[in-house]
Amino acid sequence: MKWESVSDFFAMGGYGLYVWGSYLVAMFCIIGEIILIRIRKRTLYKHLGLRKRSILRGEK
């Protein structure tokens, strides 16, 4: 497709709401997953009584 203006690009031939909405939902899911992984990792470290530095050094 060739767009004549920026507004045509964002409109995506009338499907812009679906296209950009899908990108927005995907972005929120990816960011949410990253946040949840960090929370789970922190909880695991606390539960096991480990520190990040000792794991990286190979200490027990």
Q: pLDDT confidence of 54, banded at 50, 70, 90? A: low
Is residue 23's pLDDT more than 90?
Answer: yes
Helix or strand or coil: residue 6?
helix
The dihedral region occupied by 49, where left means phi > 0, alpha psi between -120 and 50, and beta the remainder, is left
Residue carrying structure tokens 């200490």: 59
Question: Is pTM, for the whole model, over 0.85?
Answer: no
Cα(25)–Cα(6) distance, integer angstroms: 22
